[in-house]
């Protein structure tokens, strides 16, 4: 998979992709992640990529020309399955969305900034708008990192234990059950006996029931229930 991230703050994105699972996936060639500086596509002598909005109002807007130039350059080199814009008014990013995107081959993620991008880019070039939550961040770089992380960890070979990704929270619309490790008794705090008894069917039944209980208590909306 190839993910090209367009940003006005490239340095903000380098560290998250140079550690842990994402770093290993890149080293194995499972994922190619390119961080593209939007200013490289500005024709302004000062490399500005923002301007005042028509009609007045607070805040600057990402200019149409550098964004257009960048996307046209990328799409001239390969076909992209999605051109994603990180925006507070996009669809909510969920595990099913991550699962779907992980099946794609080439993605562009445009990290929003300032007051947003010129609407004409959204109207004519963007294929999907995604929000990571009902709040506003300084820019779309952190959402772009979140989206990329959630996608890449699902790619075959990114995680050595593939079953681990499939049993994560939200994969089956349930939160994860409690997990424990050694020692089984720590200062009188004991691991549930069922987990140390070796009865695999009983353990799986307990885990499902616990996942259901926790989801009902913490996120009843995932079950279609009232909070």
Residue 225 pLDDT = 86
pTM of the model: 0.88
Distance CA 65, CA 187 (A): 64
Mean pLDDT of 167-176: 74
Residue 169 confidence class, pLDDT cut points 50, 70, 90: low
pLDDT digits (tens, 9 = 90+) for 14-24: 999 999 999 99
Distance CA 18, CA 173 (A): 30
Distance CA 43, CA 51 (A): 13
Q: Are 124 and 85 in contact (CB under 8 A)?
A: no
Domains, the chain: 2-152 (3.40.1280.10), 172-223 (1.10.1270.20)
For 15-53, the three-class secondary structure string (H helix, E strand, C coil) is: HHHCCHHHHHHHHCCCCEEEEEEHHHHCCCCCCCCEEEC
Mean pLDDT of 19-42: 96
Residue 165 pLDDT = 60
Residue 163 confidence class, pLDDT cut points 50, 70, 90: low
pLDDT digits (tens, 9 = 90+) for 73-109: 999 999 999 999 999 999 999 999 999 999 999 999 9
Mean pLDDT of 123-139: 95
Residue 164 confidence class, pLDDT cut points 50, 70, 90: low
Residue 226 pLDDT = 73
CA-wise closest residue to 61 among 13, 10, 112, 9: 112
Residue 198 pLDDT = 94
Query: Can you read off the two tokens belonging to residue 80?
Result: 């992209």
CA-wise closest residue to 3 among 129, 190, 149: 149
Residue 26 pLDDT = 97
Residue 170 pLDDT = 65
């Amino acid at each position: 998979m190839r993910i090209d991230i367009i940003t006005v703050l490239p340095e903000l994105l380098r560290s998250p992709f140079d550690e842990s699972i994402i770093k290993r996936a890149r080293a194995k060639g499972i994922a190619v992640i390119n961080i593209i500086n939007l200013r490289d596509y500005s024709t302004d002598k000062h490399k500005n990529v923002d301007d005042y909005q028509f009609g007045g109002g607070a805040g600057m807007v990402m200019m149409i020309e550098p964004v257009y130039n960048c996307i046209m350059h990328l799409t001239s080199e390969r076909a992209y399955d999605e051109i994603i814009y990180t925006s507070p008014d996009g669809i909510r990013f969920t595990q099913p969305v991550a699962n779907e995107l992980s099946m794609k081959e080439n993605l562009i993620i445009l990290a929003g900034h300032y007051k947003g991008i010129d609407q004409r880019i959204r109207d004519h070039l963007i294929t999907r708008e995604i929000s990571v939550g009902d709040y506003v961040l300084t820019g779309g770089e952190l959402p772009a990192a979140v989206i990329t992380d959630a996608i890449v960890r699902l790619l075959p070979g990114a995680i050595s234990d593939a079953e681990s990704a499939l049993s994560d929270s939200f994969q089956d619309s349930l939160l994860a059950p409690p997990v424990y490790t050694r020692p089984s008794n720590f200062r009188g705090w004991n691991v549930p006996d069922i987990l140390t008894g070796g009865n695999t069917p009983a353990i799986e039944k307990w885990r499902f029931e616990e996942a259901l209980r926790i989801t009902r208590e913490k996120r009843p909306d995932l079950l279609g229930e009232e909070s």
